[in-house]
Structure 1
C-alpha cells in the first residue's frame, strides 16, 4: 500500500474514531482534557500516517494561562494537524464554514469543538466570534485563526483580512503570531498525493492589545503580518524555500 493510500485510510478511520470520542466526551461532559486528547490523537495519527514531522520553535511565547489567539499563515490542510499536535495548549480553530463541505475534515473539526464561521453572513459571523471569545475565557482555550482566510496557492503569504482581527480586539487576549512552513510541499492545495516531509512552526512574541480600539485594526494587521513575514523563509515570498 502506498504512503498516500495509508494516509487516506488513516484519515477516514481516525476521523471516525476520534470524532466519535469527541462527540461522546461532549455529550457526557468529559471536559477539556478529554477533548484535547481526542484532538491530539486525531492530528498525530494523520501526521504519522503521512510521514510528517513537526518542529516547534518559540514555545516560550505562549501565555501560561492558555488563553490566547494565534494568528498563523496557511499553506496546507496539514497546518491544522501540525498546530494541534505541536502546541501544548487546548487548541481550537476558527475557520471558514466552507470546510464543512469536506466530509472527513468537517466531521473531525465539528466533533472536536472547532468553530466554523460563515463569512458571507457578517452578523452571524460576529455572533459566532463573540460566542467563541466567551468559550476561550471560560474553557481556557487557545484559538487559532488564519488571517489570509484561505490556503495559499503557491506558498506565498497572501493578503490578510481585517475582519480576522475582530476577535482579538474584542477580547483583548494576547495575539501570538505564528509562521507555519512546509505544508506546501507535503500537501499543496489541489493535491491528491501526500509527500512525507517536515512542517516547522515558529511562534513570535505576543502582541499586546491593551488600549487598542476597533480603529486600530489596520495597524494590528500590519504588525501581525510583519511578524509572520520575518519568521518565514525569504519573508514568505518563496513557497519553495526550505523549512
Structure 2
C-alpha cells in the first residue's frame, strides 16, 4: 500500500514541480530583463519556497532551524553534506537574507527550466569536474564576488550526492579557494538529513511521508586555522549533528 501511495503522491508532486519550474522560468526572465537582479532574486526565492513547501503534497515534512546567529556584516561560506538535488531549495528560501550562491556542476546550467536559468544569472560557480583549472577559476570568482558584495556561498565538499546519508570525506580545495578570495568570510556548517531518503533513486518515485531537516550550526572562524582544519571541523560538526536522533 505504501508503494502505491509513493507512486500516486509522486505523480501529483512532479506535475506540480514541473509547473513551478516552467512558470518561474518565465517569471525569472521577465524579472531579470525588465527589473534587474533584485527582482530576479525575489523570483528565485519564491520559486524555491514553492518547490520546498510543495513536498507537503507527498505527506512529507521539512524542518529548518538556525542553531546560531548569522552575521550580516561579513560574507559567509556555508558548508553542507549532500544527499539529493532537493537539498538546495530550503537553503535558498530560509537563508535568502544572505543571498546563498552555489558551487554547482556545469551540467546543471542547461536543460532545467527555472533552475538552469538561475544558475547562469545568479553568479554561481559552474564547475567542470573534469577540468580542475576551470573549476578553480570559477570558485575563485565566486569567492571574490561574496567578498566584494557581502554575500554567501554554498559548497558541498563531498563533491557528489550520498543518498544513503553516509557522508563521504570532505575535500578541502573548493573551501580553501573561497577562503583565499573571501578572507573575511565565516564558515558555517549545515547538516542535512532525510533528503536522500526522500529522493533515493531519481525523481520517481519519491518516498512519501519523509521527514527532512536542515540545521545551521555554529560558525567556524577561519582566522588562525588552515583550510584543512576548517573543513575537518565542519565535517565533524555535521557528523555530530547527524548522529543525534531527529
Kept in 1, the 8 Å contact 2:67–2:218? The answer is no
User: Would you say the 8 A contact 1:96–1:149 is kept in 2?
Assistant: no
CA distance in 1 between counterparts of 2:138 and 2:33 reads 21
1:13 aligns with 2:25: no
Question: Quick check: 44-53 or 157-166, which moved more?
Answer: 44-53
CA contact (8 A) 1:19 1:38 kept: no
- 2:204 partner SS: coil
The aligned residue for residue 210 of structure 2 is 197
8 Å contact 2:87–2:192 — kept in the other structure? yes
Larger displacement relative to structure 2 (188-197 or 225-234): 188-197
Q: Which residue of structure 2 aligns with residue 61 of structure 1?
A: 69
- What SS is found at the alignment partner of 2:162? coil
**Structure 2: where are the runs of 5+ without partners?**
1-6
Alignment match, 1:239? none
* Distance change >3 Å, CA 61–CA 120, structure 1 → 2: farther
Classify the secondary structure of the residue corresponding to 1:2.
Answer: helix
TM-score of the aligned structures, taking structure 1 as reference length: 0.83
CA contact under 8 A between 2:136 and 2:174: conserved in structure 1? Answer: no
2:223 to 198, 202, 210: 210
- 2:157 pairs with 1:144: no
- Mark the runs of 5 or more structure 1 residues left unpaired by the alignment: 235-241
Partner residue of 1:238? none
TM-score, scaled relative to structure 2: 0.82
Aligned residue in 1 for 2:52: 47
**Partner-residue secondary structure (3-state), 2:68:** helix
Pairing 1:81-230 to 2, within 5 Å after superposition: 81-89=89-97, 90-100=99-109, 103-104=112-113, 105-170=115-180, 171-172=182-183, 173-194=185-206, 195-212=208-225, 216-230=226-240
Match of 2:4 in 1: none
Q: Secondary structure at the match of 1:201?
A: strand
Say how many residue pairs are matched. Answer: 232
Q: More deviation in 20-29 or 69-78?
A: 20-29
| Shift >6 Å, 4+ stretches | none
Which residue of structure 2 aligns with residue 73 of structure 1? 81
Q: Aligned partners of 1:102 and 1:54: how far apart in 2? A: 27
SS at match of 1:61: coil
Counterparts of 2:75 and 2:62 in 1: how far apart (Å)? 23
For the residue of structure 2 that corresponds to 1:124, the secondary structure is helix
